[in-house]
Structure 1
């Protein structure tokens, strides 16, 4: 009997896919790939980097706060606070600046005059 799909289900224990040597690839060549967990979901690289790429939009959503990366820009959103913690913070790039033109205050002499309305 031929089947157009394949499945694997572990009812009472966990399941593992391990390659001692070589890569492990999981692909959905012409459709959607979904990975989900009822509890914690962890992605770890023990010796190198993690790259997530998309030609359109990448959205990270945690508790309703989100970070959206797309061709049109970077968008952050949250109902809570936005806090940045860093040893240093730099925003390099091509920006404009306006020269500061502070007025030059000369020393003036003030003389008190008699108030004509109160005669003081």
Structure 2
């Protein structure tokens, strides 16, 4: 469980409700508690999706939202930096990062890169 501020609930709660509604439409087995499920006929099995499936989802979503390719490692590191900035490096150890990595993401140099605007 990740705690969020009450200010985030204005936009986060409707987003999560929409996600859950879409997930339930695809879900064939209501006991499946995995966050990401495979489409259609494969969603009835109680097992996680493959690493390749996650890679393809991340690639497709990044291309659609920021018009650039992004991999899972980059997203994980970006999330680590954001959590370290917000809550301190100690939170990263709870999230599975090592002590040295948590220190680096707490105190390492930052370079902000803004995504390109899509003019379509």
TM over 0.5: no
Could you say which structure has the greater relative contact order, defined with CA pairs below 8 angstroms and 6 or more residues apart? 2
- Structure 2-normalised TM-score? 0.22
Name the structure with the higher strand share.
1
Name the structure with the higher helix share.
2
- Structure 1-normalised TM-score? 0.22
